Amino acid sequence: MTSRPPENRGDKEPEPQAGAARPNAPQPAGSAAPAPPAPARRTLAPPDLQRSSADQPAAPVPPVASAPPPRLPPNPLPPRVSPTAPFGVSGAPGAPDPERLRTRFGRNFAAGEVIFREGDPGTESFLIEEGRVRLIKRVRGAERSLMVLKSGDLLGESALLAGVPRSSTAIALSPVVALALDQATLKSLLDNHPAVALRIVKQLVARLRDAEDQIESMMLSDTQSKVVNALLKLSQQARDEGGGGAISFSVSPMELSIRVGLDVDTVKRAVQQLREGQYLRVSDERLEIPDLDALRRLYHLLGVKDEIRGDS
């Protein structure tokens, strides 16, 4: 069957552009009829959300949930800082690592525990990080207190000398945390860290000065003179370290009694007399000297009084 020619309507239909399909053009045999064009869409849904039939309206596009921001780990805690800054050189170039020293050499002692005894072999030195330690020595069967050491102080330094026994007994007055350093470790620190060596030298010089002060105090016969002399030494030391202002320092009755070689009750009575005379003020275990010159004049008068008593 043949197709009929188009009727002549007087006007020619516009020629279709190249590549465009004629509206009623015959399709080749065996080909499927083309689907009508899909309606225009403002947004395209993801492929898995499109409908299977192209002639159906597009499914609404669900809002895309934004991914939650990644959770950052909390800020790490700052490293534990030793209250004494071991050897006083923490943070300095080439300084020993406090945490490493504490992990490897740290020791804990309960209050009243003996750290070492007089006569024991001196194999370790101890650097006090926390707490207080009392050094005592037996003299004719009686125990005499030598000194009280605090955080930052070194004790048992006789371990630097091989074969030297302990010259005193060390007892913890409170819970103590200390670094136990054997002879090889301590020698290595001294060789490789000059700041450590300088600090130890300063401590040994201070110990020698304290020993000289104790000898001077033993030569005084008057109890009040012993206490005033010790307070003058502590006041001068506090002023040198503080650089000015009110003179105050921390000292316990036990520490003061060790310095002057008297029992604690006698020292307390002497301090109370000075307090009543307004030569010092007491707050907890801290003493304040309001007028250092007045305390010096008192010491001079006590010396004159002792000389007069000796001549009579």
CATH of the domain at 193: 2.60.120.10
Question: Are 134 and 244 part of one and the same domain?
Answer: no
The two tokens of residue 142 are 């009686």
Model confidence over 141-179: pLDDT tens digits?
778 888 889 888 888 888 777 778 898 999 999 999 999
- Domain closes at, from 181, 213, 245: 213
Q: pLDDT at position 185, please?
A: 85
- Residue 198 domain flag: yes
- Show Cβ contacts of residue 103 under 8 Å, excluding neighbours closer than 6 positions: none
The two tokens of residue 65 are 């949930």
- 158, 104 Cβ separation under 8 angstroms: no
| pTM exceeds cut of 0.75 | no
Order of strands across the sheet that contains 142-149: 114-116, 169-172, 133-139, 142-149
The two tokens of residue 204 are 């040994």
Q: pLDDT at position 177, please?
A: 93
Enter the DSSP assignment of 14: P
Q: pLDDT at position 36, please?
A: 53
- Say how many residues make up the chain: 312
Question: Are 157 and 229 part of one and the same domain?
Answer: no
Question: Are 99 and 205 part of one and the same domain?
Answer: yes
Location of structure tokens 């053009």: 25
Question: Are 107 and 196 part of one and the same domain?
Answer: yes
Question: Are 183 and 248 part of one and the same domain?
Answer: no
- 162, 183 Cβ separation under 8 angstroms: yes
- SS3 (DSSP) at 137: strand
Spatial distance between the Cα atoms of 294 and 76, rounded to a whole number of angstroms: 54
Q: pLDDT at position 79, please?
A: 40
- Domain closes at, from 189, 213, 237: 213
Alpha-carbon separation of residue 199 from 89, 204, 211, 267 (angstroms): 9, 9, 19, 32
Give every residue of the chain whose pLDDT is below 70, as ranges. Answer: 1-98, 243-245, 310-312
Question: Are 194 and 233 part of one and the same domain?
Answer: no
- 127, 179 Cβ separation under 8 angstroms: yes
- Residue 37 domain flag: no
- Residue 1 domain flag: no
Domain ranges, residue 260:
220-311
- Domain closes at, from 166, 194, 213: 213
Enter the DSSP assignment of 199: H
Spatial distance between the Cα atoms of 31 and 273, rounded to a whole number of angstroms: 124
CA angle 227, 150, 189 (to 5 degrees): 130
Q: pLDDT at position 270, please?
A: 92
Total domain count for the chain?
2
- Residue 4 domain flag: no
Strand (E) or helix (H) holding 246 = none
Spatial distance between the Cα atoms of 278 and 286, rounded to a whole number of angstroms: 15
